[in-house]
Amino acid sequence: MSKQDLGQQRQRLQEPPPDEDAAPKPSGGQLVAQVIALGVGAVTIAPLVAMSLHFLISGLYGGALLTAGLGAFGASMILSGPVAFLSARSVRQARNLILVICGLTALVATIGMFRPSTEGWTRIEGTDDWSDPRIHLVGPRLLAQRSSGSEGADTGWLSLDGQWRSLDYPGAFGWMLGHFDEGAAPESQTLWAAPRDQPALYVCPAPCARWEAVERPPGRIDAAALTRGAALISVAGALYHAPGASPGARWRQALQANVRAVAFHPHQTHLALATSHKRLSWSEDQGQSWRDITPEDMPDTSLDVAVGQGRWYVFSGGSFLGGTLRSSDDPAQKIWQRHELPGQDIRVMVVNPDDGLELWMGTWGQGVFRSKDGGQSWQNLGLEGLEIRALDVDFEAGRVIVGSSNTISPQGIFTRQVF
């Protein structure tokens, strides 16, 4: 062996072994593709992980579980191999860190969903397997509805001790339940239900011996409000009016707009407010005619409506961007006051019909809140970890009732004595 060969061999022995974790040397095309993948991962995985932690801290366990799962999936796919100039060790460490964070977030969120905070609340007996129930108080009596499969629904009176009396409701599961008074007597309430996809409303005149189908314009209902002498429904991008909800009702288009919410004043029923995308509409003749009263700073979102004596509210909830709440003593003047929301994802709001400063909110995951000063301050009444899908208050008896669920399992109907 020549001296040159011996020198080369000695040099090879002195060289360190190749580092398997060193950054790979991809070709030009591979490098571009990996840099793009790294950029996509940075703008997708990081926000998902951040949102999952935000949802977890906020009590939005369903959102935390979903975003944690998406974050873990993204990390497993994008960080599964060499990425641009990063070493294999760095890629593995980043992937494992993300998987640990997402895994712990998902674990805590799952525990929170299975163990909601119900301290101070009582679940009405027999409702623990009710998923997404509808509830509505008619005076002190609780009208309730639950899905019975095959798009049917059981509807009846539910007592606080779990006693059930069916009202033989013939329609599909109601998107909304309500009542209105046909006269001064306490027993004169007419009940109504609005299935979202069925081409009819259902009304049951007192004493509710038989439900009557009221045909309506075809389409999926987006909003509905009924009172004595007037009915309003929003379908297919238009708001329709009828002079009362009874068989043979004649509907006519009153407003060309995709109305998302509409409400009559509880006492001055000739007044009504409707909301559509970035637009408020006002009626002073029970919804027969409308005029635009949208203020210049109306938020770019779909708003719900709630109203009590002396105060109107529009509000929205959002898991990602948060919600908004505004109030007005006189919407026709286009003057609205902004309020801070007590929770991020507001699902339902109820206002005392006799005191517009008392309002209640049900959220997804963050509990039930009460304000006695028109939204200036809030009292947290608990029930975290549940999605509050329906809420009503017996203001005379001081009792709140909620219909709840969560992402994994039904939870039923809860009640609490507040004052």
Of 211-220, 288-297, 402-411, where does mean pLDDT reach its minimum? 402-411
CATH topology of domain 122-417: Methylamine Dehydrogenase; Chain H (2.130.10)
CA pair distance 44, 364, nearest whole angstrom: 24
CA pair distance 325, 396, nearest whole angstrom: 26
Looking at residue 364, its pLDDT comes to 82
Q: How far is CA 36 from CA 41, 45, 70, in A?
A: 9, 14, 19
Looking at residue 259, its pLDDT comes to 94
Distance of CA 176 to the CA centre of its chain: 15
CA-derived radius of gyration, the chain: 29
Distance between first and last Cα of the chain: 101
Distance of CA 397 to the CA centre of its chain: 28
Bigger pLDDT: 61 or 352? 352
3-state SS class at 317: coil
CA pair distance 200, 221, nearest whole angstrom: 10
User: Is 90 exceeded by the pLDDT of residue 59?
Assistant: no
Bigger pLDDT: 301 or 23? 301
pLDDT tens-digit readout, 67-107: 899 988 888 877 776 555 567 777 788 888 889 999 999 99
Looking at residue 16, its pLDDT comes to 56
Looking at residue 169, its pLDDT comes to 94
Give the list of residues 6+ apart from residue 293 with CB closer than 8 angstroms, or none.
280, 281, 282, 331, 332, 334
User: Is 90 exceeded by the pLDDT of residue 397?
Assistant: yes
3-state SS class at 138: strand
Highest mean pLDDT among 103-117, 119-133, 252-266, 331-345: 252-266
Of 42-46, 134-138, 161-165, 219-223, where does mean pLDDT reach its minimum? 42-46
Of 36-50, 340-354, 404-418, where does mean pLDDT reach its minimum? 36-50
| Mean pLDDT, range 286-295, rounded to an integer | 95
Confidence class of residue 9 from pLDDT cuts 50, 70 and 90?
low
Is-contact 193 176, C-beta < 8 A? Answer: yes
| Mean pLDDT, range 209-231, rounded to an integer | 93
For the chain, which residues make up each domain, given as ranges? 3-114, 122-417
Confidence class of residue 213 from pLDDT cuts 50, 70 and 90?
very high
pLDDT tens-digit readout, 338-396: 998 888 788 899 999 999 999 999 988 888 999 999 999 999 998 888 888 899 999 99
Provide the mean pLDDT of the chain: 84
CB atoms inside a 10 Å sphere around CB 22 = 10
- Counting residues of the chain whose pLDDT is more than 90, the rounded percentage is 47
Planar angle of CA 97, 102, 104, nearest 5 degrees: 95
Looking at residue 341, its pLDDT comes to 86
Bigger pLDDT: 283 or 150? 283
